[in-house]
Structure 1
Amino acid sequence: MDLQVFRALLSDEGQSLLAALGDAERAGDPALRHGRPAALVAAAEEQVRLREQAAAKFGEFAPRLYLTPDLVELSSHLAVADYKLDRVLAEFGVVLIDAIGLGNGLDAHLLSWSHHTTAVDPDPLAVEIAGANAPVVDAAMLFPQRQDAASFDSQGEAVFVDLMRRPGPDGAHDPESWSPPLSWALERVRTTGLGWIRLAPGLAPGAVPDLGRAAEAEWISYDGEVQELVLWFGPHGEPAPVTVRRATLLPVGASLTARGLPEPPVRPPGRYVYVPDPAVVRAGLLAELAQDVGGALLDGGGALLTSDELRHTAFATAYEVIGVATHAPEPQAPVEFAVGAADGPLTLSAVPVPLPEPRSP
């Protein structure tokens, strides 16, 4: 969809077509498409399809939003954006925010619920879509502008840079090839003195050297799916000697933070197997989780942990081992874990078990 077609979609004709195509009883009527520009029909049909796909992320807003495939694919769940807004309110307390990058989600819109937010993007379509979506999500203090980030005269007290990008064919990225490049984003945040950068969670090791020397690197998952990596800076934006790693799980709202532990021990299967949330794995916090559940890495099990104890944790799903075999178990086994043990491949069959309630402090 180009800018001209998008503007046609906002016209009376485009709005009536959108409404009709969104009505299940009328959508199949050939008369709706007859005599209308093919590009307009295609754009309206795409909006209906994208709105259906976006319902899981944007909830009640989805049926009225204007979307692109990138916006649906690369944006995070609305609850994730809301969580970050709460962090900004609690930890920054700023009034003016500069948001750089509009095409990958609704972060800037939610920021404007409580902050004067100037948002810039060089893509005119992204800017106009952001403007059209602002009243849908009550983004009263969002001011989108078409401008190249490098020439933008920042006036905010904090800056948010969205560098979420679609993974390459092998999952590798070169953040310096992006527009703007990661080095520019890091410098802009540090110059401003306060801010955060949003990145894809599956960046190749070393793609962000030293995690940008951010104060904190936070991997956020929603319902067991890692949504993004956020580099937080502040106060004063100075490079941190060591970046604190954090895994945050939503909607439960639990966070696990690095404690400087050594690599966890490795052992054969115990009575229980713990499958960590992927945010914990991405954040490199298996040692912290192993300590919390009184366990160790399962020998040959990758990121799986094992223990003879059953302890409460929000950061993993626990399974009770009901059999260990040197060959594949029967097809009816509830869950199978393939383990490349030192004395030959094993398959564990296990059943999920409810975790005990957390102990009172």
Structure 2
Amino acid sequence: MDRSELVELLSPEGLTLLDGLPDWDSKADIVKTVADLRKQGHPPTLVAAVLSQAKLRAKAEAKFGPFASRMLFTEAGLEQATRLKVAALHAGRFSRAGVRHVADLGCGIGGDALAMAAIDLEVTAAEADEVTAAVAAYNLTPFPRVRVLHEQAEHVALGGIDGAWLDPARRTTAGGTTTRIADASAYSPSLDFAFGLGERMPVGVKLGPGTDRDVIPAGAEAQWVSVDGDLVELGVWFGAVARPGIRRAALVIRGDAAQELTADADSEDAPVGPLGEYVYEPDGAVIRARLIGDLARANGAWMLSSGIAYLTSDTAFDSPFARGFRVLERLPADERQLRQALAARGVGTLEIKKRGVDVDPAQLRTRLKLKGAASATIVLTRESGRHVALLVERL
């Protein structure tokens, strides 16, 4: 969205038209919808802007729920925006630490600032991109204790502010296409600036969950967060918003429930042992936090192979930090023999889970030429370094 498109969208006509549209239907005839709006006398640029926002609002419901229907978005801003339930946890950290005025430096469309303002924190939100700053200002209009600046994070005066939140830009948009910035040194604001603030005041920094762990400062708390099975972020916390004695944390959110595994350092892997009756796949947050060993020891499990994130045990256990499977049968690891084994069992629908093997599940599924009415799940991995194929069922 460019400046001229935003101006049209923010006009009384634009906002009235946007709010009056029916819920976005991806299967609807978009050509007919455009034609109908044009017949009503709306200019083509406004129609395009409004329909683009309607589509983004529908997409944003996964992160913002019903609030999305009254917000504005940019494509890149929505991609990077924090889910509202996670943003509420960020805000809670600042509140519990006694921080009353937070600088949201690189606020994007304003998702985190919204959660902070909702618990009555004062927020100074800054965004370097002009259009995104205007979108944030619109989204945060209901909150009188929020001030939005069109300003680079590094230039914001922090006098009177006692904490900061940074979500460095990790995506760029060009020609309507949003791409990730692969090099962490190219984030805006830079990690040097963000982590440097952490030496001066309570600071939280949101990064992608796959960020190289070598960039995490030694004294910070690093918390990986997954939501309903999706690994969504790495939060790096400094000062009073970091918890004493915790350097590694895996927060697993499923629905309205949240469970956390914490430690003062990476945990040592559990010993490797033979395949048991059950196989467990740790949650992505546990894997990235390198707390697999603690999870194994807490549940009487062991590693199936060194360096591969599968656990195994002879007794079933229930944990929010792992998905469990009962091992039904060993199948041949050789692809030709595996195809024959699945055909003999009439498997036509196959879920393929894999770790430690170089295979594309979609391509393998095609090569297996599956036929039949049965459904199955297989795990392709290594046992003590050797390739194995396991027929399993979910617990």
Name the SS of the counterpart of 1:132 in structure 2.
Answer: helix
Distance 1:19 1:204, change over 3 A: same
- Contact preservation (8 Å) 1:301, 1:339: no
AA aligned opposite 1:305: L
Matched with 1:358 is: none
Q: Which structure 2 residues correspond to residues 62-81 of structure 1 after superposition, within 5 A?
A: 62-81=68-87
2:199 aligned residue:
190
**CA separation in 2, counterparts of 1:36 and 1:345?**
62
How far 1:213 moved relative to its partner?
Answer: 2.9
Residue 214 of structure 1 contacts residue 243 of structure 1 at CA under 8 Å; is this kept in 2? no
Following superposition, the deviation at residue 23 of structure 1 comes to 5.5
State the identity as a percent. Answer: 31
Amino acid at match of 2:202: L
Instruction: Tell me which amino acid in the other structure corresponds to 2:249.
Output: R
Which residue of 2 is the match for residue 18 of structure 1?
18
SS at match of 2:33: coil
Q: Which residue of 2 aligns with 1:288?
A: 294
Which residue in 2 is equivalent to 1:149? 153
Aligned residues: 343
Over the residues paired in the alignment, what is the CA RMSD in angstroms? 2.8
The 1:104/1:166 distance shift into structure 2, 3 A limit, reads farther
User: Which residue, out of 374, 382, 388, partners 1:340?
Assistant: 382
Q: Within 2, Cα distance between the matches of 1:343 and 1:126?
A: 50
Normalised TM-score (structure 2): 0.79
What's the counterpart of residue 310 of structure 1?
316
Relative to 1, partners in 2 of residues 1:23 and 1:243: Cα closer, same or farther, differing over 3 Å?
closer
Amino acid at match of 1:319: F
SS of residue matched to 2:217: helix
Matches within 5 A, 1:142-181: 142-155=146-159, 156-166=161-171, 173-181=182-190
Whether the 8 Å CA contact 2:304–2:382 is kept in 1: the answer is no
Mark the CA change 1:45 to 1:340 in structure 2 (over 3 Å): closer, same or farther.
same
CA drift at 1:30: 1.7
Instruction: Kindly state the Cα deviation for residue 335 of structure 1 after the two structures are TM-superposed.
Output: 1.7
Amino acid at match of 2:210: G
Separation (CA, whole Å) in 2 of partners of 1:170 and 1:20? 32
**Normalised TM-score (structure 1):** 0.86
Matching residue's letter, 1:185: A
Give CA deviations for 1:164-191 in whole Å, capped at 9, x if unaligned: 5149x99883222222210011112322
1:35-71 deviations in Å (ceiling 9; x for gaps): 5433322111110111111111110111111011112
Distance 1:338 1:287 in 2: 21
Shift of 1:236: 9.6
AA of the residue aligned to 1:101: G
Work out the CA distance in 2 between the residues paired with 1:129 and 1:316.
39
What SS is found at the alignment partner of 2:212?
coil
CA contact (8 A) 1:82 1:110 kept: yes
Q: Following the alignment from structure 2 to structure 1, what is the Cα–Cα distance between the partners of residues 125 and 110?
A: 12
Shift of 1:29: 6.2
Q: Residues of 2 paired with 1:352 and 1:106: CA distance?
A: 36
Question: What secondary structure is seen at the aligned counterpart in 2 of 1:159?
Answer: strand
Query: What pairs with 1:17-166 in structure 2 (closer than 5 Å)?
Result: 17-22=17-22, 28=33, 30-34=35-39, 35-90=41-96, 92-103=97-108, 106-113=111-118, 114-135=120-141, 138-155=142-159, 156-166=161-171
Please give the alpha-carbon distance, in whole angstroms, between the structure 1 residues aligned to 2:232 and 2:116.
18
> Distance between the aligned counterparts of 1:83 and 1:17, measured in 2?
35
Unaligned 5+ segments in structure 1 are 354-361
Which residue of 237, 242, 246 maps to 2:249?
246
Q: Quote the Cα distance in structure 2 between the aligned partners of 1:314 and 1:22.
A: 39
C-alpha distance in 1 between matches for 2:241 and 2:232: 27
The aligned counterpart of 1:326 is: 332
Mapped partners of 1:266, 1:61: distance in 2: 48
Given that 1:219 and 1:246 are in contact with CA atoms closer than 8 Å, whether structure 2 keeps it comes out as yes
